[in-house]
Amino acid sequence: MGQVASRIEEKLKAALSPAHVEVSDESHLHAGHVGARPEGETHFRVVVVAASFEGVSRLERQRRVMDVLSDELSGPVHALAIRARAPSEEQA
């Protein structure tokens, strides 16, 4: 895991205390596209399962994740796909 991916994971864990967090660097899928850098770590997919998302709209969950990662989104991260769920939704 690269430095940016590690920082994303650490920040999500610290801010949201998730039951599950998964960070995938998908930069290799976007080579040659706008925002891609040869060294990678520009395009990510995150999965976050947190009790704090219970009863919260999908849009608000994504806003919370984006707020936590605002520094990364204004810097090295060009694209971020977010799957934010409450633990009760993972059981369904």
Full DSSP string of 32-67 = TSTT--TT---EEEEEEE-GGGTT--HHHHHHHHHH
pLDDT one-digit tens code per residue, 44-91:
999 999 999 999 999 999 999 999 999 999 988 988 999 999 999 976
pLDDT one-digit tens code per residue, 19-40:
999 999 988 665 666 655 556 6
User: Structural domain tally of the chain?
Assistant: 1
Query: What's 37's domain CATH number?
Result: 3.30.300.90
- The H or E element that residue 85 is part of is strand 79-85
Domain hosting 69: range is: 3-91
Residue 56 identity: V
